[in-house]
A and B are shown apart, each in its own frame.
Chain A
Amino acid sequence: MDDLALRNLVYRRFVELGRAPTMDELATTEEALGRLHELRMVVLEADRQEIRMAIPFSAVPTPYRVEARRRSWFANCAWDAYGILAALGVDGHISSSCPDCGEPIEIDVVDRRPEPADDVFHVLVPARSWWEDIVFT
C-alpha cells in the first residue's frame, strides 16, 4: 500500500470508528506510519506506536467534541472542530467550554454557518511556527 492509500485508510477508519485505528487494524507497519508522520499526513505519539492526530481528528479526548450523523469525534482544536464537519460535508454540533470561565460553548452548524457565531477564536502560535510543535499549536 502506498503512502496516500494508507493515509486515506487511516482517515476512513477514524471516521468509522470515532477513534484512531491501531497499527493492527490498519495491517501496516511502524515504518509505514512513520513515513506518514514525516510527510505530516498523520501525527504519531512520541513513541511512534500510535496515531495522535489525523488532522482534524484527535485520537485523544480534547475540549472539542463534534457530533454529526449520530456519531462523535474529538477535534484537536476549535479550527479542527469545524474542520471535521467540513471534511464530512455535514452540519452538526460542537461542544466545548470557554478556557477562561469554563462555561459551556455549544455551537450548531447549519448550512455551514455557526449558531451562535459570536464566539472569539484565538490562535496563540504564529503560522510560521505551527509545525514546530503541532500538538501544542
Chain B
Amino acid sequence: MNLFRSEEHLMRWLATTRRQLGATISSKKLCELAHAWHAGTLSPDWQPRTRDESQAILDRLGLTHDFWQLPR
C-alpha cells in the first residue's frame, strides 16, 4: 500500500517489479478513508468492528468495486 508521485511512476514501478495493477485512489481520498477507518483507534471505548461495519466505510467512500470487498 504505497504512495507514488503520479500514475506514470506507478506504471513504471509495476513494469519494473513485474507486479499487477491493483486499485488506486488519490491521496486526498486516502486521507478521508484513513480518518473514517482509524478515528476511534485510540479511544478507551474502542471496540472491534464487524466485517460489515468495515465494508460500510469502504462503500460510503465509493470503494464498491469487487477489489474492495472484504472476505465473508
> Which A residues are closer than 8 A to B by beta carbons?
4, 7-8, 11-12, 15, 39-41, 55-56, 63, 76-89, 96, 98-101, 103, 105, 107, 109, 112-114, 116-131, 137
A120 and B10 within 8 A (CB)? yes
CB-CB under 8 A for A119 and B4, given A79-B34, A127-B69 = yes
Give the 4 A-B residue pairs with the shortest CB-CB distance, closest first. Answer: A82-B34, A77-B1, A83-B38, A87-B41
> Which B residues are closer than 8 A to A by beta carbons?
1-7, 9-10, 12-13, 16, 19-35, 37-39, 41-42, 44, 46-48, 58, 66-71
CB-CB under 8 A for A101 and B69, given A83-B37, A96-B3 = no
Instruction: Kindly state the separation between the CA atoms of A137 and B23 in the bound complex, as whole angstroms.
Output: 13
Main SS of the interface on chain A? mixed
Instruction: Kindly state the separation between the CA atoms of A68 and B50 in the bound complex, as whole angstroms.
Output: 30
Q: Which residues of A contact B39 (CB under 8 A)?
A: 86-87, 89
> Could you write out 29 A-B pairs with CB less than 8 Å apart?
A7-B46, A56-B38, A63-B2, A78-B1, A78-B30, A79-B30, A86-B34, A87-B42, A88-B42, A99-B4, A99-B13, A103-B5, A105-B5, A109-B31, A113-B28, A114-B31, A117-B27, A118-B26, A119-B6, A119-B27, A120-B4, A121-B1, A121-B3, A121-B24, A123-B25, A123-B67, A124-B19, A127-B58, A128-B70
CB distance from A93 to the nearest CB of B (A): 13
A121 and B38 within 8 A (CB)? no
